[in-house]
Structure 1
Amino acid sequence: MAKAQIIRELRKWLPNRRILTDADECRLYDSDGLTLHRGVTPGVLLLESETEVVQAVKVLAGHQVPFVARGAGTGLSGGAVPMQGAWVLDVHRMRKIIDIDPLQRTAVIEPGVINLDLDRAAAAHKLRFAPDPSSQRACTVGGNIAENSGGPHCFLHGMTTRHILEVRTVLTDGTVLDLQRDGGGIDWRGAFIGSEGTFGVTVQAKVRLVPRPPCVRTFLVSYSSLEASCEAVTAIIARGLRPAALEILDRLTIGAVEASVFRAGYPEDAEAVLLIELEGLTGEVEEAAEAVRSAAVGEQTIGIEEALDEESRERLWRGRKGAFGAMGRIASDLYVLDAVVPRSKLSQAISGIQQIGRDQGVVLSNVFHAGDGNLHPNISFDANIPEERARVLKAGDAILKLCVALGGTLSGEHGIGLEKRDHMPLIFSPQQLETQRLLRTAVDPHGLANPGKILPAGRGCTESGFRNSDHLKRTESILGLPEQKKRGVSGKETPL
């Protein structure tokens, strides 16, 4: 009955064609890029404006029905999977670049703007949007904000949070807040970025743009062992050099790339390749290039190629950016893991990961952001074979535990989502997890925004006090949740 009433209320202001309730249509939204985890949604709303998001949230909240915001669905941790009967708020149609200010080097955008589209628009002003996930041709900036996404060049430029100045968000009661970077007090903007949609829905953001570099040099170094490529990264960093990107692909990945539409001319006899990019002022880059070449070349180096023009640079990057897509040449399904280890433990981690693959009998390859130790072990498999799926999950569990044991952490850029939710006790104490629950309770007292994510199952959010008003008031007092004015990124007060 609640669903029928919700639909009647939605139809008062949302065209019926943008309310999807057919089971086959909704099935398209049951997972994100990580198909190991799936959910079921009773409905999908195709929203096109902030006003529609506010109205949708108010309708669902009025019936105590949860929701999950969704952009392009390219996430890899199950973050956009609808759980506990959540409706999907699809905001990918909100894709306006509202303003670009070349002097202030900022842009104001809607959440559905594609990452690469923003970068290309900024290029007209000799600027760029630095975060560059491998899925940047498809992923939305709103999704980047939710996951605090990274990418190859974040080794130099930092994660998404460094490039977001303001976030305009709709809370679970329909309140619209502008969370700013400056102004003192608690950094609610920082808390919102990377919260994976558990605090509310992004409807607008003001982002930082940076100048496009005057000089770029790109090298592809090939090695006779994967360990040698990891040691080269250590040698480069040890010399005090700071490339814009340091990316490693192993032999299996190279073979898949070269057999795909992403073919980049990588040497197929190499056990690994290291893609190095330098950027900056011409004199500095030229000096660094010689030092990098010296550090990267050793006894197990079997070749080095430099991109001599933009076309050859794009070719070398095409292979790296297309690596995950190319893995479809190996098997129908792919589990892309995301964990971080100290750079000094790269070789040890890779060796351990390869052993786990052998122990579990799975097809495992490696492509990763070597500069900051952000590993992406890829397990290729057939999801239609239950025993194979079970081995894949066991291997993933073992890999995450290995990375934590080596002094690393569970995620570098993909988020926790469903995939790593129950691994959170590996890195957080019960008290730390409870503090996170308290924060979530203060922002979303009824647990409506993207339920079932990040915090471990068991003592769930409802049990920790989502429906207890006294607990909520105590939480707000402890955390000092501000009575912020309802303002947009322009700074103007917003009537509701």
Structure 2
Amino acid sequence: MTPIETNQALLDGLREIVGDDGVLTTMGDRLVYECDGYVLEKQTPDIVVLPSTRAQVVGVVNRCREAGVPFMPRGAGTSLAGGTVAVGGGVMIALTRMNQILEIDLRNQFAVVEPGVVNIWLTQRLKGTGFHYAPDPSSQGACTIGGNVATNSGGPHTLKYGVTVNHVLGVEMVLPDGNVVTFGGPHADPVGYDLTGLAVGNEGTFGICTKAWVRLSRDAQAVRTMLGIFETVDDASHAISDIIAAGIVPAALEMMDHLMLQAVEEAYQFGFPLDAGAVLIMEADGLEAGIDEVAARIEEIARANNARDVRRARDESERLLLWKCRKKAFGAIGRLSPSYCCQDGVVPRSKIPEMLRFMSDISAKYDIRIANVFHAGDGNMHPILLFDERDAEQTQRVVDASHEILSECIRLGGSVTGEHGIGVEKIAFMDRLFTDDDLLAMRWTRAVFNPDNICNPAKLLPSGGHCAEVSLPATRRAT
């Protein structure tokens, strides 16, 4: 047992705050929390705590701080960069019991939610109101809004509507010193510094989100969803660039390649052509007047780029089935491989064909199958490397291949993450994306909120070299 596990005073204090059923200490219970969706990094937390109120979160944080024990927040564990791994152990604060939709204000177009609210629950609650919450990650059926806030999640429809930060009006956070702060709120344009924008995407390194005010958007009058079928990924990629170049801003542009189509079709029997090199899900929305002209123009561009067929969803049920196939594509991968590693690189749209050719070469070089499903409209690529984590040599090839893919994204003028965050997986790439001065500024920013680096340590920012840990004088720490 670890020193933390045998710290009876800490355990008694935590049980006093959340109750016996809110503190998990057995190996079987804690093992569930050893990793998130990034299975290549694992560390079992020493203790898992399940608070159900903000006051309990404050109490847990204070107990950990007094004991000098690191702690980290966790939502549903769908993160794909190791953002919730308990590096070095510590106390995992799982927020899944804080799962209430506290308020929906349609007149002022916002909702107030606790961090453990599953993204799709808000969508379902708003059905029939004429409004929706726009960010829709592919893990929408499982991921929590608190986790979306932590990583600034995207999704298929962010091409037109923006990522999470564009739809969060305010956040309530418990800082590592136990103080509760609120950035922003229900009003759309708060005065002063945009601390809400700073907090969204902090990956749990500033504190623990306990409430969020989120913007609600009006439903579009009309939607047209099309499936473009292409012989090659090159043709599909060029169609993407030409659609955007034509001045059209689709609601979504999503690509699936041949290998992904096999998995999805076997799982959901949509009727995807298994001999296609790639398909594009192309969606336009807006006013009823003119929407058919926009859809026709998208179809025309797709055919000009050698689409052998373009099909429109015949009705809402077919449209929803098509999106079900796309959003559950990751789950379907289990039919092809016992393990997978999903990357999150970004390249300029014009570089997508080049990047896909590079990944094909990497697949051959490392003898690893790579399936592709991604947000093609904004260049956010999700190559999925298939492997068996029980084979150490195969696992190492996946790591090496992943690093080459991310390095190529940087070389092509892109980034190593579009929505999954840095977590533990991509820390080594940070000093290739930013200068030492850039990273030092980020460290000073983190130190304002988390001066002792006790909250979710060893995430996001590299240590060592010219980017040593920094601490703010006590007079400059957040209060």
TM-score range, shorter chain: over 0.9
CA contact (8 A) 1:86 1:450 kept: no
Q: 1:263 to 1:4 in 2, by over 3 A?
A: farther
Which residue does 2:365 correspond to in 1?
Answer: 359
The reply to whether residue 464 of structure 1 matches residue 466 of structure 2 is no
Q: Superposed, which structure 2 residues align to 1:313-352 within 5 Å? A: 313-352=319-358
TM-superposition CA deviations, 1:257-309 (whole Å, max 9, x none): 1111x332211110000000111101131221111111111363222211010
Distance 2:77 2:290 in 1: 40
Q: Counterpart of 1:117 in structure 2: which amino acid?
A: W
Which residue does 1:445 correspond to in 2?
Answer: 451
Identity %, equivalent residues: 38
The reply to whether residue 298 of structure 1 matches residue 283 of structure 2 is no
Distance 2:241 2:44 in 1: 45
Q: Counterpart of 2:75 in structure 1: which amino acid?
A: G
Which residue does 1:388 correspond to in 2?
Answer: 394
Which residue does 1:17 correspond to in 2?
Answer: 21
CA contact (8 A) 2:260 2:372 kept: yes
Which residue does 1:259 correspond to in 2?
Answer: 266
TM-score calculated relative to the size of structure 2: 0.96
2:436 to 430, 438, 452: 430
Which residue does 2:96 correspond to in 1?
Answer: 92
- 1:316 deviates by 1.2
3-state DSSP class of the match of 1:13? helix
CA contact (8 A) 1:33 1:74 kept: yes
Distance 1:299 1:286 in 2: 20
TM-score calculated relative to the size of structure 1: 0.93
Which residue does 1:488 correspond to in 2?
Answer: none
The reply to whether residue 211 of structure 1 matches residue 225 of structure 2 is no
Distance 1:69 1:263 in 2: 38
TM-superposition CA deviations, 1:223-256 (whole Å, max 9, x none): 0111000000111111101110000000000001
Which residue does 1:53 correspond to in 2?
Answer: 57
The reply to whether residue 161 of structure 1 matches residue 168 of structure 2 is no
- 1:360 deviates by 1.2
CA contact (8 A) 2:35 2:82 kept: yes
1:228 to 209, 224, 235: 235
Distance 1:459 1:12 in 2: 42
- 1:410 deviates by 1.1
Which residue does 1:307 correspond to in 2?
Answer: 313
2:139 to 135, 138, 161: 135
CA contact (8 A) 1:263 1:318 kept: no
- 1:130 deviates by 0.3
Q: 1:164 to 1:295 in 2, by over 3 A?
A: same
Q: Counterpart of 1:265 in structure 2: which amino acid?
A: G
Which residue does 1:200 correspond to in 2?
Answer: 207
Query: Is there any run of 5+ residues in structure 2 with no aligned partner, and where?
Result: none
Which residue does 1:6 correspond to in 2?
Answer: 10
The reply to whether residue 414 of structure 1 matches residue 423 of structure 2 is no
Which residue does 1:108 correspond to in 2?
Answer: 112
Q: CA RMSD in A?
A: 1.5
CA contact (8 A) 2:95 2:116 kept: yes
CA contact (8 A) 2:256 2:374 kept: yes
Q: 1:110 to 1:435 in 2, by over 3 A?
A: same
Matched positions, count: 472
Distance 1:452 1:299 in 2: 46
Q: Counterpart of 1:94 in structure 2: which amino acid?
A: M
- 1:457 deviates by 3.8
- 1:85 deviates by 2.2
The reply to whether residue 36 of structure 1 matches residue 40 of structure 2 is yes
- 1:460 deviates by 9.9
CA contact (8 A) 1:339 1:374 kept: yes
Distance 1:195 1:324 in 2: 25
Q: Counterpart of 1:169 in structure 2: which amino acid?
A: M
CA contact (8 A) 1:26 1:43 kept: yes
Distance 1:149 1:458 in 2: 29
CA contact (8 A) 1:265 1:316 kept: no
CA contact (8 A) 2:111 2:215 kept: yes
Q: Counterpart of 1:218 in structure 2: which amino acid?
A: T
Distance 1:284 1:149 in 2: 31
Moved over 6 A (4+): none
Distance 1:116 1:299 in 2: 35
CA contact (8 A) 1:334 1:380 kept: yes
Distance 1:12 1:254 in 2: 51
CA contact (8 A) 1:336 1:376 kept: yes
Distance 1:159 1:235 in 2: 23
Q: 1:263 to 1:425 in 2, by over 3 A?
A: farther
